[in-house]
Structure 1
Amino acid sequence: MTSLLDPPDRSTGPRRTDRRAVLARVLREATYEVLPFPSAGDKVLAHVPTGTGLSVTTTEAKGLGPTVDLAVRLTGHGYRVAPHIAARLVRDRAHLTDLADRLTEAGISTVFVIGGDAAEPAGAYPDALALLTDLRAIAGDRFDHIGIGGYPEGHGGIADELIEGALTAKAPYATQIVTQLCFDPSATVRWARRIATAGVRLPIRVGVPGAVSRQKLIRVSAGLGLGQSARFLRKQQGMLWRFFTPGGYRPDRVLDGIVPALAAGDTGLAGIHVFTFNDLESTETWRRRLLERLDR
């Protein structure tokens, strides 16, 4: 199958040229997801341009502290950073107020609110909706952008109808949706159209894995801790076989599949969010090489 990265020719015409322009824009505006491991900050500073938006995940084992610390550090270096606030790790309203105050003082105006995977909530917030409600009351309009999660390929532990009902309830508190890892572009497009029909009209960033090796995925999964790794992989339906079978996964294929929908502009799809698994050098090299090929 012809890739959008191949040079356009007479047989493809202006329409394919337009899609290549969309692909170039999407790559330039891509955001990166970073895990708050000790080496993450130095890797970002070494390999990621400050114009690239970042998000910092939370880990159940370490809590919210490393997430906020890394977000504050990188913001101080000129990056636009969205820390993940996992509702089930926030103790109470006072804790949430302290978090909002610290982020505001650091100049952080974007957050990504998730329920989180902790088996039991630490306190008052069992899910993202509960936290979003209090965050609006506490912070008002201090946060310009609030992201929430989407699951085009489903969630290993929650029924689809419950996931999409929760999305509809959270949408009024948010400014964008960032999806979990997506390997099936057609599933993402169908899902985006379905939630738009249900009344959710937020712009959607499609989560795609970056240029990550199988070995790196294994190391990262181990670093998350056994329980969290199992839950993480269980949510990513189809992830293992796509990484570990011959041929495996290539990010270019996912981009080829979603760019037509991005170009059409009728699905809510607005860009990509790259799960780097902290392999920032490889991911940034991959992105730059694709842009160079498109420029040629």
Structure 2
Amino acid sequence: MVADGAEHPLRGALASAGYEVLPFRGTAEAVLAHVPRTVPLTVTASASKGTSATLDLTERLTAEGYRVAPHLSARMLRDAAELHEVVERLRAAGTTSVFVVGGDAKDAGDFPDARSLLQALRESDHPFTDIGIAGYPEGHASLDAATLERSLTEKAAMAHHVVTQICFDPAAIVAWAREVAAMGVHLPVRVGVPGAVAREKLLRISAGIGVGESARFLRKQPGLLRRFFTPHGYDPGPVVDGLVGELGSPGHHLVGLHLFTFNDVAGTEAWRRRALRRLGDR
């Protein structure tokens, strides 16, 4: 329930939601056509596309006036020298936010995981004032719970916010967030939710990133295909509505939304605007 005269708890979350996009041909044009410059963006890192694709799109969108955080994938960076080149390129672009992940590249260089890359950044001269890390409300396919807990605690000391992996159960998200707070991790947490994505878009994206990379991603996202392959695609409404009253509540640090668009930025932005209009009509 929302008290008379009080702002609906989802309004701020929807207004400040960030979009995640993939560094594919045509992504920049789609973002420019459909996404307001007030929407913060992240650009994923893909082993099949390489780090340069992420940096190219970050530079392009930053130059167009967006606030962009590229993914820095630890296993895709060869060594400290390459990390320095990446950091300097982002400094020149005016980038102040990054999202650090371990990544799925088969052969790692000097950075086998996100923690090692975060440590290297901490020991370097970098321009990043906002560093994000991943959280896993439903666990990780290749890491046990104790390892995940230790990893999150170590990484949180070198980061500024957490974005959860996709989870379709609001109760599980809230329970996990409370456990994280009880562990002593007090970073703000943005809930990762798929945007309004058509199934045809998901098929094209899956083909574009390659079979192996798609399979690795889907192993980490239980139920994703089943939920997307409905006649009209995926609707994030039920998950988002399930968080009403939880965003900003005491006992955890859930503060906002991070929408995985799978490059269906037109559909996701249309859904966000409809949701904001409905809130305004109440």
Q: TM class, shorter-chain normalised?
A: over 0.9
Name the residue aligned to 2:99.
112
Name the residue aligned to 1:124.
110
1:270 to partner: Cα distance: 0.7
Residue type at the aligned position of 2:112: P
1:220 to partner: Cα distance: 1.1
Map Cα deviations across residues 122-177 of structure 1 (whole Å, 9 max, x no partner): x100001101111111125x211000001112222222222222111100110000
Which runs of 5 or more residues in structure 1 are unaligned?
A: 1-11
Residue type at the aligned position of 2:94: G
Report the 3-state secondary structure (helix = DSSP H, G, I; strand = E; otherwise coil) of the residue aligned with 2:228: helix
Q: Are the aligned partners of 2:2 and 2:8 in contact in 1 as well (CA < 8 Å)?
A: no
- Counterpart selection for 1:270 from 255, 259, 270: 255
Report the 3-state secondary structure (helix = DSSP H, G, I; strand = E; otherwise coil) of the residue aligned with 1:208: strand
Residue type at the aligned position of 1:161: A
Q: Are the aligned partners of 1:153 and 1:237 in contact in 2 as well (CA < 8 Å)?
A: no
1:44 to partner: Cα distance: 0.6
Name the residue aligned to 1:79.
66
- Counterpart selection for 1:191 from 176, 179, 201: 176
Aligned pairs for 1:195-206 within 5 A:
195-206=180-191
Question: Does 2:54 correspond to 1:67?
Answer: yes
Alpha carbons of 1:13 and 1:183: their partners in 2 closer, same or farther (altered >3 Å)? closer
Say what the alpha-carbon RMSD is for the aligned residues.
1.7
Q: Are the aligned partners of 2:195 and 2:234 in contact in 1 as well (CA < 8 Å)?
A: no
1:256 to partner: Cα distance: 1.0
Name the residue aligned to 2:237.
252
Map Cα deviations across residues 90-120 of structure 1 (whole Å, 9 max, x no partner): 0110110111111011100000000001122
Question: Does 2:6 correspond to 1:14?
Answer: no
Q: Are the aligned partners of 1:154 and 1:237 in contact in 2 as well (CA < 8 Å)?
A: no
Name the residue aligned to 2:166.
181
Map Cα deviations across residues 215-264 of structure 1 (whole Å, 9 max, x no partner): 22122112111111000000012222333368974211111111221142
Which runs of 5 or more residues in structure 2 are unaligned?
A: none
In structure 2, distance between residues paired with 1:38 and 1:245: 26
Aligned pairs for 1:3-42 within 5 A:
12=1, 14=3, 18=6, 21-42=8-29
- Counterpart selection for 1:169 from 144, 154, 157: 154
Identity of aligned residues (%): 53
In structure 1, distance between residues paired with 2:278 and 2:202: 27
Name the residue aligned to 2:205.
220
Residue type at the aligned position of 1:203: P
Q: Are the aligned partners of 1:156 and 1:236 in contact in 2 as well (CA < 8 Å)?
A: no
Question: Does 2:245 correspond to 1:240?
Answer: no
Alpha carbons of 1:294 and 1:168: their partners in 2 closer, same or farther (altered >3 Å)? same
Residue type at the aligned position of 2:120: D
TM-score normalised per structure 2 = 0.95
In structure 2, distance between residues paired with 1:118 and 1:188: 28
In structure 2, distance between residues paired with 1:177 and 1:35: 19
TM-score normalised per structure 1 = 0.91
Report the 3-state secondary structure (helix = DSSP H, G, I; strand = E; otherwise coil) of the residue aligned with 1:264: coil
Map Cα deviations across residues 194-218 of structure 1 (whole Å, 9 max, x no partner): 1111111100000000100222212
Report the 3-state secondary structure (helix = DSSP H, G, I; strand = E; otherwise coil) of the residue aligned with 1:272: strand
Name the residue aligned to 1:90.
77
In structure 2, distance between residues paired with 1:168 and 1:44: 34
Name the residue aligned to 1:284.
269
Name the residue aligned to 2:136.
151
